[in-house]
Every structure is written in C-alpha cells, then in structure tokens.
Structure 1
Amino acid sequence: MTLIAIVMGTLAAGIGSVWLAALLGFGVLARYTQHMLSLAAGALLATAFMHLLPEAFESQASADDLFMTLLVGLVFFFLLDKAELWHHGHEHHHQHEALPAHDNHPDHAHAHTHQAGTWAVLTGDSVHCFGDGVLIASAFVADLRLGVIASLAVLAHEVPHHMGDLMVLRASTSNKRAALLKVTLAGAVTTLGGLVGYWLVDQLQDFLPYFLVVASSSFMYVALADLIPQLQKRLSAPETASQIAWLLAGIALVTTVSSLAHAH
C-alpha cells in the first residue's frame, strides 16, 4: 500500500507539475515571453536560495562540505555549458553562413543564446526530482497523510521552476513537444527517487543534502548565466520596472509556496 502511494504521489508531483507548468507557460502566458524569463529567473533563484539550500544546511552535513559541493556544482555546469557550446559551435557557424546577410531575426540569436542552458537545466532538474522523490518516499514511510502533503507541496513548488525550465528549452528549440518531453522525463525521475527512497530510505538520508545542493547549483547557474544576461538590455523605465516586478514575482511565488509547505 505504501509503495503504491509513493508511486502515485511521485507521478503526480513529478509529471503533474511539468504539465501544469506547460499549460500555464505555453498557453495562458505564452505571449509574455520576456516577462516569463524574468519570472523564471526569480523562481529558479528563490528555489535554490529559499528552499533547497536552507533544507540542505538544516542537515547534519558540514557547511564546508556543502559549500564545496555548491562550488563543484557551479564549475561542473560551467564546463557542461562549454562542452555543449563547443559541440554546437561548428554547426551554428554553418547555419549562420547559410542565412542571408539581411536575416537578423531575433529568434536566431535567441535560440543561440539559450542552447547552452539546456543540459544544465535537465541535469539539475533530474537531480532535484530524484531528491524530491526520496523526500516524498520518506514522508510516506513516516505517515500516509504526511506523504500526501509532501507530494502536494512538491507539485506546487515545482510548477514555477518547471515553467523556467520549459522557457529555457523552448527557446533552444522551435519544437514545444520536444521541450515538454525532455522536462517530463526529468520530472519522471521523481518516481525513480521515490522507489529508491522506499528501499533505501535510511541509507540515503545522509546523501540528501548533497542532492539538494547540486540541484541548487544548477538553478543558480541557469538563472545567472543564461536567463539574467538576456534581461540585461537597455530598456525604457516602464519596461525595466516591469522586468524587475516579474523577477520579484517569481521569487515571491516560490517563497510563499515554500513557507506554506513548511507550515504543514
């Protein structure tokens, strides 16, 4: 019974949150792309700083080890970025040569800018989702009602940051389905984490803080290296104010959901 509950809870939290994010990001809010980039940057930073890192530092793991993991994580995602840019550089060069000289369509530059963040997002997402699955499994093992609350809390706090993930992937490919499929597969790792957590709940407790820190390093990297540079443009005062407001809205959204989850 507990195992079935874990599978149901992790599927709802992992995949349900991705589809809900897609519904919002691709449907209702799709026309506000720049606003969504600001919201995504705020949500990713808040998820890292207000949710994942505090939870990691509440554990018994030493601060030195956790900060070292954070540093290694940031350097790892930088190198991953470099490897991907190097891999795609030749291909982009030929694509650029193939374009007419007058073709300065912003979508081409947009896609080039965003290509780099794709693997960092998917890797970080998978690690984070695995950690979420372990957390949900731990809650279900402790108490069925606690497991349900944990699943709902994970679903709620994942929606804003999955919207950010989808924005990054959507900008690197014109195919919405491909972006949705990739993030859905990363979300499905929640169930894998739940199953592993069910069998190894005691042994994995020691590693949870490190999962949380690696995931947070990926979100920090994507927000600071990929999203925020795109927002650093010369804009009018009202546009700048709007950009800042959406960034703060992303932070507020995750902070509110996290505090509500912790209140339970």
Structure 2
Amino acid sequence: MTPLAWIIAMSFAGGLLSVVVAAGFAWAARPHWVPTLISYAIGALLGAAFLEVLPHAIEAAESPERAAMNILAGILLFFVLEKLVLWRHCHDEGCHGHGHAAGEDHRDHGHGHDHGRSGLLILVGDTFHNFVDGVLIAAAFVESTPLGIVTALAIIAHEIPQEVGDFLILLHSGYSRTKALVFNLLSSLATLVGGMLAYFALSHMESLVPVFLALAAASMIYVAVADLIPGLHKRTELRATAQQVLLIAAGIASIVLAHPLAERALG
C-alpha cells in the first residue's frame, strides 16, 4: 500500500472505529469501563510519544535543540487551545473547576445543568481535534509506514475514551442517540480530511515533517499528562492504583510490540 492509501484507510477506519465503539460504551451506560480505557490509552500515548515519535522527530529535525523547541511550542499551543475551549464552554455554564479528565469530568459537566448549550461546542472542538489527528497521522506516514501505523493506533486508543465522554455530553445536552451518533460520525470525517490535505501539502513541503512529528509528540504527551492522568488520581485506593499501573504498562507494551509486528507485516 502507498502512504496515501494507508492515510486514507487509517484515518477513515480510526475515526469510524472510535465513534462506533464510543457510542456502544455510552449506550451501554457502564461508567466503570471508561477508566479502564483511559489507563490503557495513557500507556499507549506515552509509549508512542517517547519510544516512536520523539526519536523520529529528533532525527528528522535540524538539531535536537530545534526538535525540543518544537515540542515545547506544541505543548504550549495545545494548552492555549484547550484553555480557549474550556473558557468557551464555561463562559455560559459558570464552571468552577480547574480542568477535566477525558471521559470523567466531561460526564460531570453533561449531567443535570447542561440544557443543550454545550453540545455544539463539543462538536466544534471535536471536529478540530479530529482534523489535527488526521494531520498528525499523515505526517507520521510520510516519515515511515510503521511509524504511521503506531501513531494511528495510539490516536485511536486515546480517542475512544474521549469520544465516550463527548457522546455522553451530547446525550445529556438533549441530543437523541441517533443524532448524537450521526453528528459524531460526521465530525470523525475531519480526520480523513485533515490526513488527505496534510499529505498533499507535506509531499511538497518535506521540511514541515519534523514540525508535525514534534506536534504529534506534544499532543500525545499533553493529552496523557494534562487531560487523562489527573482523572486517575481521583481513585486513590490501592487496588485501583495497581490496576491503573498495570493497564498503563499494557498500553506501553502494546506500542513496544506493535513496531516490530508492523515491520514484519510490511516485509
């Protein structure tokens, strides 16, 4: 398969898979599944960022210092973007928290006091996020197919628990299950759009590949550390902590195993 074929397949399948699985979990209404997905997603994100994407970003950059600057700039960028989304969401809602963890505080905001006002913001923010995911997938596949596969799988792993939270917000914002599913599916197409646009742009601007790889690493690190890990700290009992550690380790192990498996599958 060509890099473009891989980008189309992984972007489309990834967006569709994350939405369908999220809808299934949301409809099943079993919240104890979500923390399990989040713990595994943290491991997959950190494993992909530090073991796969970062080495390629440093190797492709002019210097390690330039790669580090790009990553730091990316983390700051995602912080500002999330602040803007949170400000827009809380401006009308009167929020008094200090952030949220995907799949957990999302659900808290969705219960009881939403009155339909956050649904549109969630869809807009999710569409932008999906577009960026497509750009990151394309950048990784332009660098190498195994890296693209690992990056796409890591993005899918963290999208599922986030989509669960977003889906629940739409349900509690007054959307019917059918409308919530349809709007989420339409939003997921932004991954495919971002991937294709990025591929044709990156094919003529190879100098941007190191920047997008750095942004991919920054996105994975930021989502894992800023959005997902704080939610795990709400459960302090020993059994829950041990389960979280094991699932994070399983996520990292899946990334470690995915790279050689992908290389063998590709010959």
| TM-score, normalization by structure 1 | 0.72
Structure 1 residues 1-264: aligned runs within 5 Å: 7-24=4-21, 26-27=23-24, 31=30, 32-93=33-94, 107-109=107-109, 121-122=129-130, 124-135=132-143, 150=145, 154-155=148-149, 157-172=151-166, 173-174=169-170, 175-198=180-203, 200=204, 204-262=205-263, 264=267
Which ranges of structure 2 fall in alignment gaps of 5 or more residues?
96-104, 115-121, 171-179
Superimposed CA distance per residue, residues 231-261 of structure 1 (whole angstroms, 9 cap, x where no aligned partner): 1123332222111111111111122112333
Q: Find the counterpart in structure 2 of residue 98 from structure 1.
A: none
Larger radius of gyration: 1
Higher helix share: 1
Query: Aligned equivalents of 1:120 and 1:244: distance in 2?
Result: 31
- One-letter amino acid matched to 1:16: A
Distance in structure 1 (CA, Å) of the matches to 2:189 and 2:128: 15
CA contact (8 A) 1:80 1:119 kept: no
Letter in 2 for 1:132: A
Q: Is the 8 A contact 2:7 2:137 kept in 1?
A: no
Is contact 1:70–1:213 with CA below 8 Å preserved after alignment?
yes
Counterparts of 1:27 and 1:79 in 2: how far apart (Å)? Answer: 32
Task: Give the residue type in structure 2 aligned to 1:125.
Answer: D
Q: Deviations over 1:152-188 (max 9, x none)?
A: 8734652342131232243133334434433331244
Flag the 1:80–1:188 CA change in 2: closer, same or farther, 3 A: same
Contact 1:17–1:155 (CA under 8 A) maintained in structure 2 = no
Evaluate the alpha carbon distance shift between residue 258 and residue 110 of structure 1 in structure 2; reply closer, same or farther with a 3 A threshold.
farther
Distance 1:164 1:178, change over 3 A: farther
CA RMSD after TM alignment: 3.5
Deviation at 1:39, TM superposition (A): 1.1
The whole-number CA distance in structure 2 between the counterparts of 1:36 and 1:10 is: 25
Q: How far does the alpha carbon of each residue in 1:204-246 deviate from its partner, in whole angstroms, 9 at most, with x for none? A: 3322111100111111111111111001123332222111111
Q: 1:133 to 1:192 in 2, by over 3 A?
A: farther
- Please list the CA deviations of residues 128-174 of structure 1 after superposition, one character each: whole Å capped at 9, or x if unmatched: 123135347xxxxxxxxxxxxx3x87346523421312322431333
Distance in 1 (alpha carbons) for counterparts of 2:207 and 2:244:
40
Alignment length (residue pairs): 232
